[in-house]
């Protein structure tokens, strides 16, 4: 086969491969939505994080604003330390509150941020003080049964 | 007598094991030798371009068509199962992630091993059988630098491109079945795919996998060809061994790579 034809075909092949790389990058990897944009890290301590994992989404008002960077156990306070990488496009006030939430009934867990009213903004390395841990189903049921028993006891005791 | 038969049986197991280990070691040594003699391939890159044509461009049709079919089947099967949970819109996530992370690199590498790997082995084996390699040595041309290294690099360069084309084609196939044929919402198909996919952890890891598979298949194919007994049976046996051992190598390497990629390096 002639050299020029050969080069043409290999060129087409490499270009096709490159375009499929771009297509995968933009359609699957979400490169267009600032996936590699700069972020700042904030820390939050939770009593219980449930099933929260690394790379879980951080949402505010349901919109993705960042991802969980790391989850570790804090041996001083005996609770979970969560580091979140939040997009620098979204600054949050200092009194923002963070809670561990679940998407849907059986869905993955994520961190929900509710902005406060402070005029100072969170900086890299700051800690979110207002936190709400994950709701554990067993504890919820336990509390419900406990309240029920207490109500029953009160009703019986009332006529006396 | 029974004892003697048992000892013979155990001995043959040991013999086979040692042969396999020897072969793996010899392939690795040959890979090192190929890389050492690669300077010529990069100085005369037209030699590599020729091999990219034979290994990569000529595998395009089979890779593209299989990718389309695999994506279509994934779309059908995924939709069938996901609709039981009322989440048929996630079919895009299922198709894209299973292709980019797993099926794209693995199936493309298996097809590449049987389409291009066997051809490389047969070509080099026949060159050896017809004493073309010895003739080169007589002319003080190193056959590893002139024949083996360009074929090796041609395979290594082609493999990631083929794997990406396979994944992209599969996603188009899944789109055709799920959105065009079945009628899943087209916005949800793409947006859920984008929300679930990650550039570094899904796409780059898939490319790393296909690069490793490309190195393994090309090394095995060139080694088997170069070491083939210079007879008709020898070449045919070497071709078969290329397909069998590179398929096994791909699947075993895939398990190791996936374990490290999902569970981390520590």
Please provide the average confidence, as pLDDT, over all residues in chain B.
Answer: 91
Residue among B49, B57, B194 whose CB faces A27 most closely: B194
B54 touching A (Cβ < 8 Å): no
pLDDT of residue B107: 96
Shortest Cα–Cα distance, A151 to chain B (Å): 38
Shortest Cα–Cα distance, A37 to chain B (Å): 12
B192 touching A (Cβ < 8 Å): no
With an 8 Å Cβ cutoff, are B203 and A28 in contact? yes
Report the interhelical angle of B149-175 vs A3-23 (nearest 10°): 50
Q: Which of B62, B198, B211 to mutate to test the interface with A (most CBs of A within 10 A)?
A: B198
Instruction: Note the helical H segments in B98-231.
Output: 104-112, 118-129, 132-138, 143, 149-175, 186-196, 205-227
Distances (CA, A) of A115 to A82, A92, B114, B129: 18, 6, 58, 76
pLDDT of residue A33: 53
pLDDT over threshold 90, residue B100: yes
**Can you tell me the distance from the alpha carbon of A148 to that of B79, in angstroms, rounded to the nearest whole number?**
44
pLDDT over threshold 80, residue A35: no
**Can you tell me the distance from the alpha carbon of B158 to that of B46, in angstroms, rounded to the nearest whole number?**
15
Higher pLDDT, A156 or B33: B33
Using a CB-CB distance cutoff of 8 angstroms, which residues of chain A are in contact with residue B52?
10, 13-14
**Can you tell me the distance from the alpha carbon of B12 to that of B20, in angstroms, rounded to the nearest whole number?**
12
Using a CB-CB distance cutoff of 8 angstroms, which residues of chain B are in contact with residue A20?
161, 164-165, 167-169
Residue among B97, B165, B194 whose CB faces A20 most closely: B165
Distances (CA, A) of A21 to A32, B9, B55, B195: 14, 52, 19, 18
Average pLDDT rounded to a whole number, residues B29-56: 91
pLDDT over threshold 60, residue B96: yes
pLDDT of residue B111: 96
For B55-78, write each residue's pLDDT tens digit.
999 999 999 999 999 999 999 999
Average pLDDT rounded to a whole number, residues B153-161: 95
Name the 3-class secondary structure at A134: coil
A125 touching B (Cβ < 8 Å): no
Q: What percent of chain A has pLDDT over 70?
A: 87
| pLDDT band with cut points at 50, 70 and 90 for residue A105 | low
Average pLDDT rounded to a whole number, residues B123-136: 93
pLDDT of residue A157: 57
| pLDDT band with cut points at 50, 70 and 90 for residue B108 | very high
Nearest CA in chain A to B205: A29
With an 8 Å Cβ cutoff, are B171 and A28 in contact? yes
Residue B210 CB contacts under 8 Å (≥ 6 apart), including other chains: B104, B105, B108, B109, B159, B160, B162, B163, B164
Higher pLDDT, A160 or A140: A140
pLDDT of residue A36: 53
| pLDDT band with cut points at 50, 70 and 90 for residue B194 | confident
Is ipTM beyond 0.90?
no
B190 touching A (Cβ < 8 Å): yes
With an 8 Å Cβ cutoff, are B195 and A13 in contact? no
pLDDT of residue A159: 54
A71 touching B (Cβ < 8 Å): no
A13 touching B (Cβ < 8 Å): yes
Q: Can you name the residues that pair with A81 across neighbouring β-strands?
A: A45, A72
pLDDT over threshold 90, residue A155: no
């Amino acid at each position: 086969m002639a050299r020029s034809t050969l080069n043409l075909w290999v060129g087409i092949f490499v270009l096709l491969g490159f375009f499929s790389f771009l297509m995968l990058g933009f359609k699957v990897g979400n490169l267009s939505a600032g996936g590699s944009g700069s972020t700042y890290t904030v820390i939050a301590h939770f009593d219980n994080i449930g099933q929260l994992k690394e790379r879980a989404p951080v949402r505010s008002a349901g919109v993705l604003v960042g991802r969980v960077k790391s989850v570790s156990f804090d041996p001083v306070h005996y609770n979970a330390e969560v580091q979140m990488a939040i997009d620098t496009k979204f600054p949050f006030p200092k009194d923002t509150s963070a809670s561990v939430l679940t998407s849907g009934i059986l869905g993955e867990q994520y961190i929900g941020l509710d902005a406060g009213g402070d005029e100072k903004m969170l900086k890299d390395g700051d800690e979110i003080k207002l936190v709400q841990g994950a709701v554990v189903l067993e504890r919820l049921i336990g509390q419900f049964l406990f309240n029920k028993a207490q109500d029953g006891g009160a009703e019986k005791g009332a006529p006396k | 007598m029974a004892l003697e038969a048992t000892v013979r049986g155990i001995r043959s197991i040991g013999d086979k094991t040692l042969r396999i280990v020897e072969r793996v070691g010899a392939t690795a040594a040959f890979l090192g030798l190929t890389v050492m003699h690669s300077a010529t391939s990069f100085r005369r890159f037209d030699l590599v371009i020729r091999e990219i044509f034979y290994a990569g461009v000529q595998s395009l049709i089979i890779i593209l068509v299989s990718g389309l079919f695999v994506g279509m089947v994934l779309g059908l099967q995924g939709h069938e199962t996901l609709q039981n949970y009322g989440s048929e819109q996630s079919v895009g996530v299922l198709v894209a992630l299973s292709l980019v992370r797993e099926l794209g690199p693995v199936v493309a590498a298996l097809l590449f091993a049987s389409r291009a790997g066997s051809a490389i082995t047969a070509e080099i084996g026949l060159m050896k059988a017809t004493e073309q390699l010895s003739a080169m040595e007589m002319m003080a041309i190193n056959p590893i630098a002139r024949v083996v290294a360009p074929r090796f690099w041609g395979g290594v360069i082609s493999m990631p491109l083929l794997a990406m084309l396979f994944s992209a084609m599969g996603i188009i196939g899944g789109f055709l079945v799920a959105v065009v044929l079945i009628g899943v919402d087209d916005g949800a198909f793409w947006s859920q795919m984008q929300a679930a996919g990650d550039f570094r952890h899904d796409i780059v890891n898939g490319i790393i996998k296909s690069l490793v598979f490309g190195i393994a298949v090309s090394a095995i194919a060139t080694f088997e060809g170069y070491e083939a007994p210079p007879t008709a049976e020898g070449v045919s046996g070497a071709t078969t061994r290329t397909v069998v051992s590179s398929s096994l190598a791909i699947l075993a390497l895939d398990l190791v790579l996936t374990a490290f990629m999902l569970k981390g390096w520590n």
